[in-house]
Structure 1
Amino acid sequence: MDIASLAAAIGLHEDASALVREYDRLESGDYPAHKAFFLRDRAAMLASVRQRADYKPFFLYFFVKMAVDAYAEYRLREIPDEVYIETFSDIRIWTDVCKTISGECGIEESGWLQEHVRLALFRLGRLQFQPIALDRDLIAGDRKFAKGDLVLNVHIPAGESLDQQAALASFARARAFFRGVPSVFVCHSWLLYPGLGQVLDPGSNIMRFQRLFEIYEVDDASRQAEERIFGAPQDDPAAYDEHTGLQRRAKAYLAAGGKLGAGAGIFAEG
């Protein structure tokens, strides 16, 4: 695997691909030191890079290089190329987000992509999964889950509809992929906020996905829903765009005093 092959496989736009190639021409000699720093102390390395004026394009270059390096470990673990490409397609997604929000070609989500390059998170179809230990005791319905229990944390990448069959297929793939990890899924997302039922039709993909989970925590103060729906939170809902049906309904709901926060839920079979 090399930069050009990865960029083509994940659909990285040509301007982003060219930027990565130029950084590799200029900074490849320093890359081993950056990588060693990252492996030694990820938080310190990422904080250090953020002091650079060009941190966004540098992060794009760095995570592409780390993804290229990760391919050898994928092969060693006999993880299919399909999973590799699906997982690192997040680089393209977050490059697009950075371009939309800041107008700059690069990566802002450095803290998130560190999970991908250290093989702590994998995309399996529509959803991403990350083995974690519960940080608290949980009760969902008539089932109890203990602090320290190993579960699969679920993330929903942007860019595609949340088709119910695609989501269920991802859960099925996760059960097979993470052998030895219980089929217990947790998710913290604006998609699990109960108040969305005031905005969306009960038969919508989002509400159908939400009903898979037993909601155990609600965060009314979160602005994640507004960020995902409108791009950036505004103090006055009247400032929000109305380009989509969801935006129109969410804007009207917020203007009438409603809240859109986030929720945490657990989905366990058996």
Structure 2
Amino acid sequence: MPHPDADLTRARLLDAATDDGLDRLGIHAPDRPAVAGWLRAVADDPADLAVVARLRAEVLLPAIGAWDAHADGPGFDAALERHPLGAGVLPLCALAATGEDVLAHQAGHGLASEIGVRTLNDLGQQVMKHRHVYGEPGLHNQGWLRTVWSGDFLWLGRLQFEPRLSDLGIAGGPARRVLSVHIPQTGPLTPASVDAAFAAASATYSAHLPHLAPEAFICDSWLLDPLLTDLVPDTNLARFAERWTPWECGPGDWAAAYFVFDVNPPGRAAADPETLPTDNTLRRRLVEHWRAGGHVRVCQGVADTRP
């Protein structure tokens, strides 16, 4: 039986398959033929279309504007990770069919369309990441993109910002409104670009989403490991690490391997350093560190920069 929103979903998929639609989703040139083909094929397959319409209605739409509760809602079923057309095709199509709903939510808060479109561009980033890791276009980070699609998550300049509540590492402390900082893989992480992104986040949330105006910036990343100041001193990465005061750290070898080397060992196991390239300074220093028995940590911390 067709889903009640099947016709709307089909129209959205066909629109997303156009050049303008692919631009809106940030699909990179090497991935555009495959992604456009998937969108059109699913639009013309009644069974797949029904699944995509259901995912839009049950998984994505309820999460828009629900920044404090979207993690509690239904996510993408693991069975959707595989499809004859490619990895993660149906979640990708559901995300594409819901982009206009995300933009409408943001427009309702007076946010410029450029901000919304930039935020949706993370779909293209994740398709590219899948290609870098697995050698072909696809999607394996659909759960992450459900967070991006929550409507109150914004990509501003060099950084991305996710509204959250945090006790800032103080056990039993009050829950504070914060922005969790994410670092897309889009180029140098210069101090000036980070300063500008923090300033843009403070101004944008205060003006358009005042109920989410942050009391602090937090981050949960291997880029907060103080090791970086010794591993690659006097670099953008070291200066970024120095901005934060960590309150907790845990194992992070997998994260460094995934983001620096584009490898994803099963079960988030540590990568074998003997198999990793050493074609730039960061890669070489990490491989040397691992060969010597060292480890990288993922740290949670609060920024010294205050909103």
TM-score by length of 2: 0.77
CA offsets 1:175-223 (integer angstroms, 9 cap, x no match):
011123234000011110111223102x211111111111211214542
Q: How many equivalent pairs are there?
A: 264
**Gap regions ≥5 residues in structure 1:** none
Deviation, 1:149, is 1.1
Where do residues 83-162 of structure 1 align in structure 2 (5 Å cutoff)? 83-134=115-166, 136=167, 138=169, 146-162=173-189
Q: CA deviation at 1:45?
A: 4.0
| Aligned equivalent of 1:187 | 219
User: Does structure 1 retain, via aligned residues, the 8 Å contact 2:176–2:215?
Assistant: no
Distance 1:145 1:160 in 2: 38
Counterpart of 1:138, as a letter, is G
1:177 corresponds to 2:204: yes
Deviation (angstroms), 1:61:
1.6
Q: Aligned partner of 1:244: which letter?
A: N
Q: Tell me the distance in 1 between the aligned counterparts of 2:306 and 2:252.
A: 30
Q: CA RMSD in A?
A: 2.5
The counterpart of 1:35, out of the listed 31, 56, 59, is 56
Measure the CA separation in 1 of the matches of 2:201 and 2:284.
35
List aligned pairs for 1:59-98, cutoff 5 A: 59-98=91-130
Q: Which residue of 2 aligns with 1:166?
A: 193
Name the SS of the counterpart of 2:74 in structure 1.
helix
| Cα deviation, residue 24, structure 1 | 2.4
Cα deviations by residue, 1:144-165 (Å, 9 ceiling, x for unpaired): 9933211111000113111111
Counterpart code for 2:202: R
Contact 1:124 1:170 in 2 (8 A): yes
Shift of 1:19: 2.4
Is residue 277 of structure 2 the alignment partner of residue 241 of structure 1?
yes
Instruction: Mark the CA change 1:87 to 1:30 in structure 2 (over 3 Å): closer, same or farther.
Output: same
Aligned pair in 2 of structure 1 residues 189, 137: CA closer, same or farther (>3 Å)? closer
- Between the aligned partners of 2:172 and 2:178, the Cα distance in structure 1 is 10
- Quick check: 1:221–1:261 contact (8 Å CA) kept in 2? yes
Contact 1:59 1:106 in 2 (8 A): no
2:89/2:138 contact within 8 Å kept = yes
1:11–1:113 distance in 2 versus 1, CA, 3 Å: closer
> In structure 2, what is the equivalent of residue 20 of structure 1?
39
TM-score by length of 1: 0.87
